[in-house]
Structure 1
Amino acid sequence: MKKQQGIKTWRKVMYGVGEISNTLIFTVVPLFLMFYLTDVLGIPAGWAAVVSFAGNIWDAITDPYAGYKSDTCRSRLGKRRPFFLYMALPMAAAFGLMFSIPTGETMAVKLILIILAYMLLLVLSTFFIVPYLAYGMEIDPTYDGRTSVSAWRMLFSIAFGLVGATIPSMIWKSADVVSQGFSQMAWIMAIPIAISPLFAFFSGKEPKSEIKPKTKTQRTSFFKDLRRAVKNKDFNKGLAIYVFSWMGIAVLQLLLIYYVKYVLLMYDEYALIAGIIFGLAIAFLPFWVWVSNKFDKRKAYIWGAALFCVTLCCLALPTDFVRSIVWVLVPLLGIGVSALHVMPSAIVPEAIDRAIAADHTTGSGSYTGVMTFLTKIGNAAFSALIMGILGWCGYISTAEEVFVEQPAGAILAIKLLLVIMPLIVFVAGMIVCAKFKIGREDAKQEGTAQKEG
């Protein structure tokens, strides 16, 4: 058997640039869409929950199908890369439209427009993101190579997560009318969203699918691939780590601006707080890659998640005390976020490889589709639950970002939800990770077994 060689660095970089679209969409939307609905359009929190749930459920159900289509796509450009090319411009346009809802319309019209725009953005982004993630798992099949590919992708993810977390508020705050500022922000962000998939497209030809000797590849169909993916135990373990991680991060993204504005009363410092979190997340990427290389991905994930959980619990302490140590807590959150970004994305390819070897298939798209499907279902449920609880606790929605004093029940809900919900899923992820044999020695043993077979 020929020894597997890693790909050249420039290809990893070009592939990583493609993450910019994904990151800007799924940083700006989770961080600001609900805030845009409740504090700019004046939509009640309960209805904002409906928007979130409807859009994400629609988005989620398309993910496995997008994975299947990218597995079975037959094109001279490859089976993944055509999606990078064809989705770029429509994605960007849908993003701009979603934050350009006319404020003068009735509540019913605003709800219909935002749901349609949101669903359009999500389904277009799905047909980019699922093939993109599958492509990243395939271009470098080596154990440490995949960590390196993930690290480059996460470099651009966190760098533009920093952009997506800080620049939007600067743009809309500089506008005379906040709603117009949101529209300007969205169309500015749409430019890199349209361009970055082209870098992934030109990162090189796709690797040919390798079918092991004496192994008959199963005929595929959408429903067969879906059933096969959800039944595989190894895949389910890697899937759980990934889904739990991103559900926890989604809660942080959704509630951070509410926590800073209404609990800490530090809204003017929001951009700085977000900037420190994402800036340190970038700075510590090499550190977590080093930890992974020195020990393994599993330990790196557990240590990073544990640090994040301990720091997160401090946010539930009395508000005056949190304000006094906020500039200690914020950097620690950033260090934890760094591990939670890169490690799950590096672990999942190993789980998918085992599933493919066990099921005698050659396509990772269906597994990726199931992964993003369940991630979005979990995020949709959490987002809807959070907004529903805020509405039930009396959260007051406003138009054009007018500041109002929120009732004590809403303040308490923001604080507890920000801590308790991520804590549950991160602890669950650490438990699964501790029981999942995915270390370097496990990978070597499996490779030896496959070679002898």
Structure 2
Amino acid sequence: MSLHRGTVARYAVGSVGTGGFGTLPGLVLVYYLTDTLGVAALAAGLIVTLAKVWDVVVDPVIGAASDRDRAAHGTRRRLMIVGGVLLPVFFLLTFAVPPSLGSLAGAVWVLVAFLCAATAFSLFQVPYIALPAELTGSYDERTRLLTARVVVLTVAILAFGGGAPALRGPVPDEHAGYLLMGAVAGLVLGASLLVAAGVEGRVRRRDPGRAADGVPQPPEVATPDGATPGVLAHYRAGLAVLRTSPPFRALLSAFVLQALATGTMLAGAQYVATWVLDDEGAVTFLFAALVGPAVVFAPVWGRAARRIGKERAFAVASGVFLVAAAALVVMYWSPGVWVYAVVAVAGAAYAGLQSLPMAMLPDVVSHDAVTRGPGRAGTFSGLWTAGETTGFGLGTAVLATVLATTGYVESRAEAVVVQPDSAVLGIVLAFTLLPAALVAVSLVPLRRYPLRRTDIEAAHTAARTEEHRA
């Protein structure tokens, strides 16, 4: 059964929030710490990394809580709504450090506020990722759903990555500029999350009482004595998923390595604009070059997946991205407008790196539900979100380590500094050859991904047969 266009649209709107929160902090937060608050590069990287490590701790718990909610109430939206309400508040506070605070106090402020913002985001993101496997059992409809999501995601990355820093620029006072950026971005993030939180309600109103076509429904989540599982049980469930699902291990490994690659590039984009292209505002054009082609090519990768399979299309997109990223190293010796053209090639491939693994994940979840029983979708999504945020967080740590190793000079707002050539070279390597190498390594686990269209269609048919028998 085809998904209604309204359902697809409402689900896709959530990617305004996921794209914005995934992009903006990675792009500007370390730069805000090093070049406005005067925090040393390693400490700035540690702050962002700690928030991502916290995600690894909390996401499996949120995933299990989301599974309990769906088993008890038939919906995952309660946690999604809480996340949508809290995220704008803590996102604003992250960029609201008073100018009078010293570097150490400012660093602590940002750490606490960003930890709270990351928790609020996870309350939405974890159940959001679990939904595609439950909204439809169709291999192609999931591709359609996730392709629409990635089109919106890429537009959101462009809007937040290019537009939000542009809000900061015209304001003479750097601190006030970041505060304005945080307020506007936070409101947009929250609105997007709250719109998407109602997508399950839309499905039920259109067809009350119907489960997603061919998707097994989860049993009640409880221990044998009827008690709610403890925290350790959530982590044991996560380890069990990793141990018993080879397709998930392969897909997650490839995705985390690529998140590390793109996270490193994302964190380095503002530094490339400032110190390589010699224009702080050039970050807007870098994002336009990256995301403009991605908007166009997301449907192209969807068509490629239908023709040659999602896993093969994913490998092709990865190869194109790898070559484009490696070619950008020439900017160290010869920066110029040609950089934007090569970034555009990477952007075309980036659409595939985003849409295809996300379209493969619900296939993994539904195949697991048929072969091992339902009820683990939240655990899968919790692990996936934890892996994604870990990759992006470690990307920031990689950049910060490179900056510190190559002698990057941090500064307070309005101060004028000159970076050594070694630091500029480090910025270029972190933006080009390091991500290319990580994507190359990601192709190794991707080759071990075993599911094909025939496997998913067979599982879908088996699920529908079992449903009709019941």
TM-score past 0.5 threshold: yes
Question: For the Cα contact (< 8 Å) 1:216–1:360, is it kept in 2?
Answer: no
Establish whether residue 349 from structure 1 lines up as the match of residue 349 from structure 2.
no
> Structure 1: which 4+ aligned runs deviate by more than 6 Å?
209-213, 215-218, 449-453
Find the partner of 1:171 among 157, 167, 170.
167
Matched residue SS, 1:43: coil
Q: Provide the C-alpha distance between the structure 1 equivalents of 2:216 and 2:188, rounded to a whole number of angstroms.
A: 40
Question: For the Cα contact (< 8 Å) 1:242–1:348, is it kept in 2?
Answer: no
Establish whether residue 225 from structure 1 lines up as the match of residue 218 from structure 2.
no
Find the partner of 1:90 among 63, 83, 86.
86
Aligned to 1:17: 13
Q: Alpha carbons of 1:403 and 1:136: their partners in 2 closer, same or farther (altered >3 Å)?
A: farther
Q: Alpha carbons of 1:244 and 1:391: their partners in 2 closer, same or farther (altered >3 Å)?
A: same
Q: Provide the C-alpha distance between the structure 2 equivalents of 1:101 and 1:335, rounded to a whole number of angstroms.
A: 37
**Deviates further, 287-296 or 413-422:** 413-422
Question: What is the CA RMSD across the aligned residues, in angstroms?
Answer: 2.5
Aligned to 1:283: 296
Q: How far does the alpha carbon of each residue in 1:165-199 deviate from its partner, in whole angstroms, 9 at most, with x for none?
A: 11122111110101110100110111111211222
Partner amino acid for 1:170?
A
Establish whether residue 434 from structure 1 lines up as the match of residue 447 from structure 2.
yes
Find the partner of 1:248 among 243, 261, 266.
261
Q: How far does the alpha carbon of each residue in 1:209-268 deviate from its partner, in whole angstroms, 9 at most, with x for none?
A: 87869x999966424422321212222112123222222221111111112221232433
Partner amino acid for 1:231?
R
Establish whether residue 195 from structure 1 lines up as the match of residue 208 from structure 2.
no
Q: Provide the C-alpha distance between the structure 2 equivalents of 1:95 and 1:219, rounded to a whole number of angstroms.
A: 35
Q: Provide the C-alpha distance between the structure 2 equivalents of 1:94 and 1:217, rounded to a whole number of angstroms.
A: 33
Q: Provide the C-alpha distance between the structure 2 equivalents of 1:394 and 1:302, rounded to a whole number of angstroms.
A: 36
Pairs within 5 Å for 1:156-167? 156-167=152-163
Q: Alpha carbons of 1:71 and 1:13: their partners in 2 closer, same or farther (altered >3 Å)?
A: same
Q: Alpha carbons of 1:217 and 1:287: their partners in 2 closer, same or farther (altered >3 Å)?
A: same
Aligned to 1:327: 340
Matched residue SS, 1:174: coil
Aligned to 2:325: 312
Find the partner of 1:292 among 292, 301, 305.
305
Aligned to 2:456: 443
Matched residue SS, 2:145: helix
Q: Provide the C-alpha distance between the structure 2 equivalents of 1:73 and 1:280, rounded to a whole number of angstroms.
A: 39
Q: Alpha carbons of 1:324 and 1:157: their partners in 2 closer, same or farther (altered >3 Å)?
A: closer
Aligned to 2:113: 117
Q: In the TM superposition, what is the alpha-carbon distance from 1:438 to its structure 2 partner?
A: 2.8
Q: Alpha carbons of 1:266 and 1:250: their partners in 2 closer, same or farther (altered >3 Å)?
A: same
Q: How far does the alpha carbon of each residue in 1:21-70 deviate from its partner, in whole angstroms, 9 at most, with x for none?
A: 22111111111110111111111102102212222111221000000000
Q: In the TM superposition, what is the alpha-carbon distance from 1:446 to its structure 2 partner?
A: 4.5
Question: For the Cα contact (< 8 Å) 1:140–1:149, is it kept in 2?
Answer: no
Normalised TM-score (structure 1): 0.92
Aligned to 1:73: 69
Q: Alpha carbons of 1:42 and 1:323: their partners in 2 closer, same or farther (altered >3 Å)?
A: same
Aligned to 2:411: 398
Find the partner of 2:420 among 396, 407, 418.
407
Give the total of aligned pairs: 448
Q: Provide the C-alpha distance between the structure 2 equivalents of 1:289 and 1:70, rounded to a whole number of angstroms.
A: 29
Normalised TM-score (structure 2): 0.89
Q: Provide the C-alpha distance between the structure 2 equivalents of 1:177 and 1:73, rounded to a whole number of angstroms.
A: 46
Q: Provide the C-alpha distance between the structure 1 equivalents of 2:161 and 2:221, rounded to a whole number of angstroms.
A: 44
Find the partner of 1:419 among 432, 437, 459.
432
Aligned to 2:400: 387
Partner amino acid for 2:295?
I
Q: In the TM superposition, what is the alpha-carbon distance from 1:449 to its structure 2 partner?
A: 6.5
Aligned to 1:136: 132
Matched residue SS, 2:330: coil
Establish whether residue 264 from structure 1 lines up as the match of residue 277 from structure 2.
yes
Aligned to 1:362: 375
Percent of residue pairs identical: 21
Q: Alpha carbons of 1:10 and 1:216: their partners in 2 closer, same or farther (altered >3 Å)?
A: closer
- The answer for unaligned runs of 5 or more in structure 1 is none
Question: For the Cα contact (< 8 Å) 1:67–1:365, is it kept in 2?
Answer: yes
Question: For the Cα contact (< 8 Å) 2:291–2:344, is it kept in 1?
Answer: no
Question: For the Cα contact (< 8 Å) 1:228–1:359, is it kept in 2?
Answer: no
Q: Alpha carbons of 1:160 and 1:299: their partners in 2 closer, same or farther (altered >3 Å)?
A: same
Q: How far does the alpha carbon of each residue in 1:57-105 deviate from its partner, in whole angstroms, 9 at most, with x for none?
A: 1122100000000001168864311122222121111111101111221
Question: For the Cα contact (< 8 Å) 2:365–2:380, is it kept in 1?
Answer: yes
Question: For the Cα contact (< 8 Å) 2:24–2:161, is it kept in 1?
Answer: yes
Question: For the Cα contact (< 8 Å) 1:218–1:361, is it kept in 2?
Answer: no
Q: How far does the alpha carbon of each residue in 1:430-453 deviate from its partner, in whole angstroms, 9 at most, with x for none?
A: 232233233323323444676789
Q: Alpha carbons of 1:6 and 1:47: their partners in 2 closer, same or farther (altered >3 Å)?
A: same
Q: Provide the C-alpha distance between the structure 1 equivalents of 2:127 and 2:338, rounded to a whole number of angstroms.
A: 43
Establish whether residue 151 from structure 1 lines up as the match of residue 136 from structure 2.
no
